[in-house]
Amino acid sequence: MVSIDEVRSQVALGNRILANERVLDAFGHVSMRHPADPNRYFLSRSRAPELVEPADVLEYDLDSNPVKVTDQRLYAERVIHGEMYKARPDVMAVVHHHAPAVMPFCISGVELLPVMHLGAVIGPKVPMWDQYDEFGDTNLLLVKPEEGASLARALGQAPLVLMKGHGATVVGSTIQELVFRAIYSCRNAEYQFAAHMLGKVMPLRPGEVEKSAQINAMPTSSFRTWEYWSVRLEKSGGGLPRRAKKPVGRSAKRASVIRTTAKKTKAKGRKR
């Protein structure tokens, strides 16, 4: 079973990868369900995704309350995550984002379609959720449990849902699958938009979506892409901070000499 330390690292890494790949910016957030307790999940304190560290990742119950009392600032929209986990027992990771690639679809109402084989990760039909339908005029943030529950109902069994004038929420069975799905749904949106500029969009056929999705769901796909995006993150200088190393060089040697001298002095004292 994955350790809690590893969960915190994966949540932080998922945030940083999606920021590096321009799915997340200063806003948006990634969470992961507790590997041993389905009624808990892990989400960072309120911080820009590119800066999230394992130590920032807190544990929440499904009502989106921190398990331990904290004075840290929390994401206002954390109910999105708690309500998704309530509604979908199969979901192990969630991301909410406002990627530039999907925003034209959230604004125009044009249907997001699977147009290339990797784009099959969006499924045959992407639902659109309009907060106004149930809650009237709002500031478009999801801060109430009933708003998060409404979004989860709109998602249904789909892999992602678009939110009118707001962004998208994506789910996955692992954090690796989540990142794969979030990135390639955005690539698919970019290609659909570009194809529309040329004058014609030819979406995948239902059978093509089904067969392509099966290939995309294979562990080799998520492993290969996770490794690739992790290396890109490291090369960009945005990887997770490394633990401080022990002192080296002259300072370390001096410390070693002091310790050795102290031990010899103590030993001579006992012989006397």
- 46-92: pLDDT as tens digits: 999 999 999 999 999 999 999 999 999 999 999 999 999 999 999 99
Q: What is the mean pLDDT of residues 141-146?
A: 98
Q: Which residue ranges form the domains of the chain, and what is each CATH number?
A: 4-246 (3.40.225.10)
pTM: 0.88
Percent of all residues in the chain with a pLDDT value above 70, rounded to a whole number: 89
What sign has the CA pseudo-torsion 132, 172, 13, 65? positive
* Catalytic (active-site) positions: 77
Q: For residue 53, which amino acid is it?
A: E
